[in-house]
Amino acid sequence: MTGIAFTLFLIATASSLVGLASLYLAWKTRQRPALILIGWACLTASAILFTFANGDRGLAQGGVILMSLACLLILAPLLKGVDGMHAYVRKARSETSEEAPLTAMRVLQNIWTFLVSGPIAGIAALLASAAMFRLLKPETGNPATVGVSAIILAILLWALFSVLMLMEARPIRRTIYAAGLCTVSALGAFL
């Protein structure tokens, strides 16, 4: 790796850190869309810089670095021990008044949330990756690279769609978004 490529790699790593931190802060302090935009912009910029630094290998190396950083962020509370992990839960429970009673409607909403963010988001992701496969499949030659890319895209889209569904607080909007995603993905895959 040349000096310029290594510098790009370091800048991309720093941009990844800023992106992860912004998304984490956006998750902790709800109602901050600017943090979400900054986080995704930094992660997109880091992906581009990783690619410029070392091509597809740079992007793969950047992905490994991002996963390692995310694992360290998740591991940090675990290293504090059980009390450190659950301290914020106890604090949040003590600050709130009484919890809402568990009703049949709340149970049904929880089940529907699971279905929308899990299987339905997965179906939309599979259909979207099938649409990408149809779009990029070569006329002649081996389509294995596009097939592997479609599989990887399906996993990433499933995660993205699930997060987008869980970000929405209202069940009716989640349902509308899920139906829209499935419809658009199915149209791309079958038409």
Give pLDDT, residue 24.
80
CA distance 14 to 32: 22
Q: Which tokens in the block code for residue 30?
A: 């709800």
Q: Are 46 and 13 in contact (CB under 8 A)?
A: yes
Give pLDDT, residue 15.
92
Give pLDDT, residue 42.
93
With tokens 């895209």, the residue in question is: 153
Q: What is the pTM of this model?
A: 0.51
Q: Are 168 and 177 in contact (CB under 8 A)?
A: yes
Q: In the chain, where do the E strands start and end?
A: none
* pLDDT tens digits in sequence order for the chain, 191 residues long: 688 888 988 999 899 889 888 888 887 787 778 888 999 999 899 989 988 888 778 888 888 888 787 777 766 766 665 554 445 555 555 555 555 667 777 778 878 888 888 888 889 999 999 988 888 887 777 788 788 888 888 888 888 888 888 777 788 888 898 899 899 999 988 88
Give pLDDT, residue 99.
59
CA distance 33 to 160: 16
Residues with Cβ < 8 Å from 168, sequence gap 6 or more?
174, 177
Q: φ and ψ at 102, to 5 degrees?
A: -80, 110
